[in-house]
Chains A and B, each alone.
Chain A
Amino acid sequence: MPNTFSLARSQEGGVSVLTLSGYLDAYTAPQFEKAIQEEYDSGRIRIVVDCAGLTYISSAGLGVFMSFIEDVREAGGDIKICSVVPTVYEVFEILGFPELFEIVPARADAMQKFGRASGQEA
């Protein structure tokens, strides 16, 4: 069945990277929500969500980004989104995500932006 979704987590230089793959819908969104919640609860508020392998997103997945972004930013962090494939980006665009979230082409861009934000420019 094509409803597979997977999420990998890693730490890169003080930034939490969540790598999403497959289908993010109302069935699989709770996995994503749990992962972000755990990052936030652990004080890891510099978060990159790598969407290179994400082939599908519905509003349930978009809602996870929305429900955490304010708290994460108020705590001094951010959720940056990278490597979004065109079909998924189109859904982000319909709802106006590009105006409110930092969406960058590649993971390295997101990492660099976190570096700049904390004055760790190379």
Chain B
Amino acid sequence: MESVERTFQLHVPSSTENLSMIRDFVGGIGQRAGFSDSDVAKLELAVDEACANVIEHAYGSDSTHEVTVKARLDAESVQIDIVDTGCGFDPKQVEQVNLEQLISKRKTGGLGMRLIQSLMDEVHYQIVPGQKNELRMVKRLKKKNSS
């Protein structure tokens, strides 16, 4: 059985205009890994959310920075690392309020993080504000014959 680990990287300017390019990149990775169309879509959305957070919050919508998306795929999973050098955030501070409470407060924050947690199998953070922030997400390939 071949079990070669492959890595890919994409560097783009920190503008939301580039989210479609990021989705295309990640979608291609998911297809290579053998994910179903549904799981490819989930991977694209999770990475879109993570990169949009970096662009809008870590970099304050300043498009002169760079977002790095690293992908590593092997026979069982795809691991995506989103790397930035922006202001970072404390994941524990992301409010865990429900949707109804957010609406009544006219707030929408934290939705992206909630989606990422739902769409991916593993999510880890390494935050060093102003130096290097890394969000690692893993999605495992579902075995076609397993129930």
Contacts and interface: CB of A to CB of B under 8 A. Distances in A.
Given A58-B48, A94-B118, A70 B111 contact: no
Interface string B88-124: 0000000000111011101010011011001100000
Interface residues of A, number: 26
Contacts of B99: 66, 95-97, 99-100
A62 B48 CA distance: 14
Interface string A94-108: 111101100000000
B24 interface: yes
A96 B118 contact: no
Interface string B41-62: 1000100110010011000000
Interface string A12-50: 000000000001011100000000000000000000000
Interface residues of B, number: 29
A34 B9 CA distance: 35
A7 interface: no
Interface of A: 1-3, 23, 25-27, 56, 58-60, 62-63, 66-67, 69-71, 87, 91, 94-97, 99-100
24 contacts: A2-B23, A3-B17, A3-B19, A3-B20, A25-B16, A25-B48, A25-B52, A26-B52, A26-B56, A58-B45, A58-B48, A58-B112, A58-B115, A59-B115, A62-B108, A66-B103, A66-B108, A70-B104, A91-B115, A94-B114, A95-B114, A96-B99, A99-B99, A100-B99
Interface of B: 16-17, 19-21, 23-24, 38, 41, 45, 48-49, 52, 55-56, 98-100, 102-104, 106, 108, 111-112, 114-115, 118-119
